[in-house]
Amino acid sequence: MSATTAFADFADVQGLLRFGYKHHVESAFALLRVRNRAAARAWLASAPVGSAETGAPPPVVLQVAFGAEGLRELGVPDAVRSAFAPEFLAGLGTDANRARRLGDLGVNDPARWQWGGPGPEQVPHVLVMVYALPGRLEPCCRELESHWSIAFELMRWLSTTDMGGVEPFGFADGLSQPQIDWAREIPPEDHDRLAYGNLSCLGEFLLGYPNEYGRYTARPLLEPAGAAAHLPRAEDAPDRADLGRNGSYLVLRTLKQDVPGFWRYVDAQSGADATQRRQLAEAMVGRRVDGQPLLPPTDEPIAGVGTDPASRAKNGFTFDGDPAGVHCPVGAHIRRANPRNADLPAGTSGLVSRAIRMLGFDADVLHADAVASVRFHRMLRRGREYGVRMSVSEALSGRAPQVETGLHFICLCADLARQFEFVQGAWIAGSKFAALPHESDPLLGNRLAASDEPATARFTMPRAGCPNRVLDGLPPFIEVTGGAYFFLPGVRALRWLATV
Ligand code: HEM
User: Residues 217-256: pLDDT tens digits?
Assistant: 999 999 999 999 999 999 999 999 999 999 999 999 999 9
Q: pLDDT per residue over 145-184, tens digit each?
A: 999 999 999 999 999 999 999 999 999 999 999 999 999 9
- Give the pLDDT band (50/70/90) at residue 364: low
Question: What is the CA(56)–ligand 1 centre distance, in A?
Answer: 29
At residue 1, the pLDDT reads 39
**Ligand 1 neighbour 285 (Cβ under 6 A):** yes
Nearest CA to ligand 1 atom 42: 337
Helix ranges restricted to H, 123-180: 137-148
Question: Does a structural domain hold residue 256?
Answer: no
- 444-465 per-residue burial string, b: 16 or more CB within 10 A, e: under 16: bbbbbebeeeebbbbbbbbeee
What is the bridge-based pairing of β-strands 406-413 and 384-386?
A: antiparallel
- Give the pLDDT band (50/70/90) at residue 453: confident
Question: Does a structural domain hold residue 67?
Answer: yes
- Give the pLDDT band (50/70/90) at residue 76: very high
At residue 353, the pLDDT reads 61
At residue 246, the pLDDT reads 97
Question: Does a structural domain hold residue 293?
Answer: no
Question: What is the CA(148)–ligand 1 centre distance, in A?
Answer: 34
Angle at 368 between CA 365 and CA 369, to 5 degrees: 85
Question: Does a structural domain hold residue 90?
Answer: yes
Q: pLDDT per residue over 389-418, tens digit each?
A: 999 999 999 999 999 999 999 999 999 999
Q: Which one of 255, 433, 444, 480 would you pick to mutate in the ligand 1 pocket, going by the greatest count of ligand atoms within 8 A of its CB?
A: 444
Q: If DSSP codes are grouped into helix, strand and coil, which group holds residue 335?
A: helix
Domain interval for residue 99: 10-250+485-497
Q: Is the CB of residue 461 less than 8 Å from the CB of residue 36?
A: no
**Ligand 1 neighbour 171 (Cβ under 6 A):** yes
Question: What is the CA(140)–ligand 1 centre distance, in A?
Answer: 30
Count of domains observed in the chain: 1
**Ligand 1 neighbour 380 (Cβ under 6 A):** no
Cα dihedral angle (71, 74, 80, 86), rounded to 10 degrees? 20
Question: What is the CA(337)–ligand 1 centre distance, in A?
Answer: 7
**Ligand 1 neighbour 424 (Cβ under 6 A):** yes
Report the atom number in ligand 1 closest to the C-alpha of 168. Answer: 5
Question: What is the CA(334)–ligand 1 centre distance, in A?
Answer: 6
Question: Does a structural domain hold residue 23?
Answer: yes
**Ligand 1 neighbour 282 (Cβ under 6 A):** no
Q: Which one of 179, 305, 317, 334 would you pick to mutate in the ligand 1 pocket, going by the greatest count of ligand atoms within 8 A of its CB?
A: 334
Q: Is the CB of residue 72 less than 8 Å from the CB of residue 78?
A: yes
User: How many Å apart are CA 57 and CA 233, to the nearest integer?
Assistant: 28
Question: Does a structural domain hold residue 139?
Answer: yes
- Give the pLDDT band (50/70/90) at residue 358: low
Question: Does a structural domain hold residue 220?
Answer: yes
Nearest-CA neighbor of 485 among 60, 12, 47, 71?
A: 71
Question: Does a structural domain hold residue 36?
Answer: yes
**Ligand 1 neighbour 255 (Cβ under 6 A):** yes
